[in-house]
Every structure is written in C-alpha cells, then in structure tokens.
Homo-oligomer: A and B are copies of this chain.
C-alpha cells in the first residue's frame, strides 16, 4: 500500500463509520487502519471535520449510485424488488444509516455543529421520496404510498439494528419478501 490520496482516507473513514459509528471516524485510529501516521492525514485534510464530511459525501453518493442503477429498470415493481433484495442482502448501508441517525448531534433537529444532521436528513428524505414515487408509479394513492414507504424504510432501519445484536435472523431473501409485502407489492413476477 504505497502513497495515499484523499479518497483512500475517505473510503477508510466510511468503513470506520460503518463499524464503529461517528466516534470511530477519528484521525489516529483511521491512520492505524491505513498503516500510516496522522502526518499523512493532515496533508490531505485540514481537520477531522473534513474527514467526516468526506465519508458522508461518499455515503450520499452511494445512494445516488444505487438509484441511478435502478432507473435502468422500467417496471417500478421490479425496481423495488431489486432494491429490497439489495438493501436486506447487504447490511452495511443499514448499519451506517442507523448509526448516523442515532448519533446526529445532540440538539435534536437543530443545525448540528458538524452538519451531519443535514446530510442524514437529506439522504433519508431522498430515499423515502424515491420509494414513494415508485409506489405511486405502481398505482398506489399518494397517501398510501407515503405510509407504506415510511413503514418499509423504518422497518429496514430497525431490522438492521436488531440484526446487529443478533435478535433478528438476517435471512436475506426472507426479509426482502417481507418488505415487499409491507410495500403492498407482489414478491415474484406477476
């Protein structure tokens, strides 16, 4: 592992975030993870805050990438099925999402000092809006779509949390089917 660039640090920071939460996105620990000293870090970034922001940026970009990938599917039901299977198959994103939300700066909705709140809120809304849109495209009334999207995404977050402590068995396909049912969509091709 030769020289590093800012992106290597951002990637490692996101990994640390998934594993240990925001507190783990710390300069010295991540430096150890990269087998390097923090002297390297302060070359690429001005401070720790910038590292956190870089990790969040990557996370947000991943959401956009997933959505962009789904857009190639014409059938909204198919899009949701692929999304659910992907969502419940991974676990990494759910871990990040959940941790981020729970660690949003103490001031509940207020403009947190670190700006984490804004990103988390933006990404959450984006995902909900995307699911809502797909459900409406599939023929559901706006109100019903909103309700189901919220229930499904909340379930996604909660399930990830429970899976993390080993309470919910994380059978991938099984959970995806359950989520599809909650969305009011058929699990297999009509």
Contacts and interface: CB of A to CB of B under 8 A. Distances in A.
A178 B144 CA distance: 11
Contact of A98 (B98, B167, B182): B98
Assembly stoichiometry (copies): 2
A104 B165 contact: yes
Given A151-B178, A154-B159, A167 B124 contact: yes
A182 B21 contact: no
A106 B161 contact: no
A99 to B, nearest CB: 5
A141 B100 CA distance: 37
A189 interface: no
A76 interface: no
Contacts of A165: 101, 104, 109, 117, 120-121, 124
Indicate the size class of the contact surface on chain A.
35 or more
Given A102-B164, A150-B168, A153-B162, 11 more contacts: A99-B102, A101-B161, A109-B166, A121-B166, A121-B167, A124-B162, A125-B167, A147-B178, A154-B158, A155-B155, A157-B161
Interface of A: 19-21, 23-24, 98-99, 101-104, 106, 108-109, 117, 120-121, 124-125, 128, 147, 150-151, 153-159, 161-162, 164-168, 178, 182
